[in-house]
Amino acid sequence: MRKGRHFGRRFWMLLIAALFTTGMATSCARKPPHDRAAVQAVLDAEAKDVVQHNLDAVMTLWCPGGIVRDAKHTPNDSSDDVLWQGKDAIAQRYLHLVFPGVPRRIEHTIVQLQWDDSQKEATVLISTRINSETAIDGDKWILRWQHGHYCLQETIYNLEP
């Protein structure tokens, strides 16, 4: 009986040590960092991957259940919005709508950034430059803190009336 109790205690000690060594215990428990550079890095990676037509890389940036919404330049009327929900739908959007537009240059510039620790989210209003065109108030992105990093949860574009 003593031998079994010793094994159980050792198992739990090793499991706890493994969690802390890999950072799982601390990354799950702590609140997301208010790190503007980390948020900008995700937006920059999305832009780079789109220019390179790297679907696999761009999709690794998205959270499961992500949403893309085209506000159709009517930000106060959601009845005409076009919606892509989930990674499969978002991937199809990149393949059939974004990549064929042949963007050679994309820049996402943060205009406003708000943190919501209770939802583990950062909400970002950005101006977007695609090739030579700039949408000053064109996009809203929501990034969610999951598994120790930010991922893209939602974007709403064409917000300019």
Regarding whether 24 and 67 lie in a shared domain, the answer is no
Regarding whether 15 and 93 lie in a shared domain, the answer is no
Question: Maximum CA pair distance of the chain?
Answer: 75
Burial class (CB in 10 A: 0-12, 13-18, 19+), 88: exposed
Regarding whether 140 and 106 lie in a shared domain, the answer is yes
Tell me what pLDDT residue 30 has: 63
Regarding whether 48 and 19 lie in a shared domain, the answer is no
Rounded to two decimals, the pTM is 0.78
Regarding whether 17 and 65 lie in a shared domain, the answer is no
Strand order across the beta sheet in which 149-157 lies: 82-85, 62-70, 149-157, 133-146, 121-130, 106-116
Regarding whether 91 and 49 lie in a shared domain, the answer is yes
Regarding whether 88 and 22 lie in a shared domain, the answer is no
Regarding whether 116 and 41 lie in a shared domain, the answer is yes
Can you say whether the dihedral through the CA atoms of 89, 83, 137, 129 is positive or negative? positive
Domain span holding position 44: 31-157
Tell me what pLDDT residue 53 has: 96
> 47-50, long-range: CB within 8 Å, 24+ apart, which pairs?
47/106, 47/107, 47/108, 48/106, 50/94, 50/98, 50/99, 50/103, 50/106
Tell me what pLDDT residue 161 has: 82
Can you say whether the dihedral through the CA atoms of 71, 97, 36, 21 is positive or negative? positive
Regarding whether 23 and 100 lie in a shared domain, the answer is no
Regarding whether 116 and 147 lie in a shared domain, the answer is yes
Q: How many CB atoms lie within 10 A of CB 11?
A: 10
pLDDT per 10-residue tile (average), the chain, 161 residues: 53 50 47 90 97 97 97 93 97 96 90 94 93 85 95 94 82
Which pair of tokens denotes residue 63? Answer: 């959270």
Tell me what pLDDT residue 160 has: 86
Regarding whether 94 and 138 lie in a shared domain, the answer is yes
> Number of structural domains, the chain?
2
> 36: domain CATH number?
3.10.450.50
Cα angle: 141, vertex 146, 149; to 5 degrees: 80
Tell me what pLDDT residue 31 has: 72
Regarding whether 109 and 55 lie in a shared domain, the answer is yes
